[in-house]
Amino acid sequence: MPEISVSAIFTAIVPVVLTTALGYLFRRKNWVDQNIQAGLMRLVIWAFTPALVVDRVLGNPLLTDFSVVWKVAAAGFLSVSLGMLAALFCARFFGISDAQTRRAFGYCCGVYNYGYIALPICMSLCPPETVGMMLLFNSSIEVAVWSVGVAVLSGKMSLPELAKSVVNPIFFAMVFCLVCNFTGWADAVPAWVFGTAKSLGACMIPCGILLVGMALPVLLNGFRLRDDPRVSVGALAMRLLLVPALMTAAALFVPAIPQDLRFILLIQAGMPTAMLPVVVVQFYGGDARLALRIVLTTSAASLLTLPAWIKTGFWLLQKIR
């Protein structure tokens, strides 16, 4: 079990915050424009993230057994799906009566920041093999976001949208690596492939976090956090209290799951809402300001709650198991 201390957790979180702030500054000062952001996003999707998958998944000894792979994929899918459904069910308890608002609330509270915050923390606290397992975990979250998530948000599931969003270079890289692992072909992959993947994959996290920061100036224009406190309080209760408690309990007590998957669940449990829901909610005709309110509220509070959840979860795992 990795050594987890509060200082180690803060050491993992602070670079994420500072890099986000740098992206915000560059966009605020107009040192980058939308064209540069779009080009950087294409690089992240088409080059950097697939390369990181190849670097951390291909030949990963934790991902050569199908019985392990399906458990990791199922855990990622369920962590988001059940979180969305729980938040949708509980929305009325926070005074959110409008059906469309409840749907947006459920979606936003369920989709947590599984990538640009969780991955660098995992890289800092866990072995490289565990990072590869988290990438698979995150890939299954994408399926949940565009299947169950769209159903929660719009009331219907669109198979074309699911296919368009899930079947991408990252998906193909993951399938390729897992096939190579299952068949033993990973041993025959030339060393230069791993070297190239390692170099390109190292760009994924900083570039992705910069993109998050670059998106903030436009979103924050005219936004007031103190509006609609019922949504903010509800989001804090669901995203940073109830859902983390459920995920931590699953990591501690669900039998027959790999130890490294327990580590991943404990790291992911206390994550704030991701930036993605702001764009998706707006696309489906929802209130993007509500989504942004949930993102900002949970992100700010998670600076205190996230270290506490990770530290407590690993401490309990050591005591119980």
Per residue in 144-198, pLDDT tens? 888 888 888 877 666 666 666 677 888 899 999 999 999 999 989 999 999 999 9
Listed residue (89, 86, 81) closest to 144, CA to CA: 81
pTM for this prediction? 0.89
CA–CA distance, 250 with 269 (Å, rounded to integer)? 10
H or E element, residue 251: helix 243-253
| Amino acid identity at 33 | D
CA–CA distance, 105 with 290 (Å, rounded to integer)? 8
Tokens in use for 249?
């309990």
How confident is the model over 54-101, as pLDDT tens digits? 999 999 999 999 999 999 999 999 999 999 999 999 999 998 888 889
Q: Assess contact for 275 and 212: CB atoms under 8 A.
A: yes
C-alpha separations of 283 from 103, 161, 222, 231, 287 in Å: 14, 12, 20, 20, 10
| Number of CB atoms found within 10 A of residue 285's CB | 11
Classified as helix, coil or strand, 274 is coil
